Structure 1
Amino acid sequence: MNDMPDGPRLVTRRTQRTARYAVLGVPVESAQCIWFVLHGYGQLATRFIRKFAGAIPANTCVVAPEALSRFYAEMPRVDGGHLQRVGATWMTREAREDDIADTLSWLDLVYRDVTSQASPAVRVGVLGFSQGVATATRWIASGAVRPTAFVAWAGRPAHDVPDALLAAALANAVVTFACGDADEFLNAQQQRDVVDMLQRVQPHATMASFSGGHQLDGPLLSSLLTLP
């Protein structure tokens, strides 16, 4: 009689790893406002945060955590050219719940690390771009951060976050959905749907648009980074 299993057994274990975040603007110690900004799919923290250059208010520090899973952003090529561009992703559908838990732990660590160096009176904002919007809403709903302002830029809130949790976390926050009028991933109806989602949890949520596609816009970004 053969007692061997028919297929492989998958064993899951937690492990430590090294992660990183990028910082731009005034030093954390002297900042009156800190923005935690979460990049989109296939981006890296250093590339993403460069888009904020020139748009950061004088009293503000911007912190961009990088997602834990990096990958080569192009298909393999014989000449090795695919090795030139690296991106990162917050999660995939594979081991999804593990990725979400690891990401939330990582963002909590970044938050503690940064705010421990800041004034107790510092104001905090959270901005998510594209895929980073879903991650941002999961993080906010988890309770670790209570932002003064939240910007969902060209992305949808996570569908698995209970409205009640997000509503409690954003009860006193200025909430804005920002998107280009020619965004290739969100048409006009989908943009209205996102606004409706946000207004379910924060009735005063508003929309800010600009002329352009799936990208950040400097002038609009500058206005949204100015915390009340």
Structure 2
Amino acid sequence: MDRKVVSYTSTNNYETLNRNTPYTENIWLVFHGIGYLSRYFIRHFSKLDSLKNYIIAPEAPSKYYLKDDYKYVGASWLTKEYTQREIKNNFNYLDAIWAEERINKDKKLVLFAFSQGVSILLRWLAHSKVPCTEIILLAGSIPKELEPKDFQHLEKTKIKYGYGVNDQFITAEKIMIEEEFMKILFPTEVEVITFPGGHEIPKNWMQIVFNP
């Protein structure tokens, strides 16, 4: 039995919230975790000032049914199958969004990721070298193949890493490892934030992240 590979053109959607106008100050590029669809994930940003904030929410290309009743659909960025190929496919998709949106470099770019989205955001950032004002990472793991040279362009970027104190996927040992890795990886000090709750984005995440 031979396994073969074929290349083809694929199409995928993404969601936006508000309008990118001359009054827009902040562009948000937000990455959902496993099981989300972008149209639901983007609701977490609905309380941001609509005049000043424009939100872009990519959606993981792979879709699947969340339960056996085949009613609800979620999306996943990667699995352990053909990971490197899927990473490249994700890069192509995200690069296409970036080109489509034509983001003005004079505006502040904020990158936000939750759970599985953290690994995709950081891999794409290492690949694209996009300059950004702030990075917010919640409850996710940092890919271990990344190196300090991947993020030398972030020397003026604010970076925050947050997690719930009752997150079932995060142990004290894991946090210690992640914090040490972040010290090596990023050119600026990472602000670590904790909040009550588990593996979730808290409803008051803006107050937690911006007023820790």
Residue 143 (structure 1) shift = 2.7
* Aligned residue among 85, 88, 106 for 2:75: 88
* 1:218 aligned counterpart, secondary structure: coil
Residues 112 and 225 of structure 1: CA distance in aligned 2, closer, same or farther (over 3 Å)? farther
Residue 198 (structure 1) shift = 1.8
Aligned residues: 209
Instruction: State the match for 2:127 in structure 1.
Output: 142
Q: Are 1:28 and 2:12 matched, yes or no?
A: no
Residue 101 (structure 1) shift = 0.2
- Using the size of structure 2 for normalisation, the TM-score is 0.90
Instruction: State the match for 1:108 in structure 2.
Output: 95
Distance 1:225 1:121 in 2: 22
Q: Unaligned stretches of 5+ in structure 2?
A: none
Residues 50 and 142 of structure 1: CA distance in aligned 2, closer, same or farther (over 3 Å)? same
- Structure with higher Rg: it is 1
Residues 180 and 89 of structure 1: CA distance in aligned 2, closer, same or farther (over 3 Å)? same
1:163–1:201 contact (8 Å) kept in structure 2: yes
* 2:204 aligned counterpart, secondary structure: helix
Q: What residue identity is the alignment partner of 2:45?
A: F
Bigger RCO of structures 1 and 2 (CA < 8 A, at least 6 apart): 1
Distance 1:208 1:22 in 2: 28
Residue 53 (structure 1) shift = 2.0
Residue 136 (structure 1) shift = 0.8
Residue 18 (structure 1) shift = 1.4
Task: Write the mapping of 1:16-165 to structure 2, written as runs, cut at 5 A.
Answer: 16-24=9-17, 26-30=18-22, 31-55=24-48, 58-75=51-68, 81=69, 83-114=70-101, 116=102, 118-165=103-150
Distance 2:49 2:118 in 1: 20
Q: Bigger CA drift: 27-36 or 97-106?
A: 27-36
Q: In the TM superposition, what whole-angstrom CA distance separates every residue of 1:193-212 from its partner, at most 9, and x where no partner exists?
A: 22222222234111111111
* 1:213 aligned counterpart, secondary structure: coil
* 1:94 aligned counterpart, secondary structure: coil
Q: Identity across aligned pairs (percent)? A: 24
Instruction: State the match for 1:216 in structure 2.
Output: 201
2:146–2:185 contact (8 Å) kept in structure 1: no
2:163–2:195 contact (8 Å) kept in structure 1: yes
- Using the size of structure 1 for normalisation, the TM-score is 0.84
Instruction: State the match for 1:197 in structure 2.
Output: 181
Distance 1:12 1:130 in 2: 30
- Structure 1 vs Structure 2 CA RMSD: 2.0
Residue 92 (structure 1) shift = 1.1
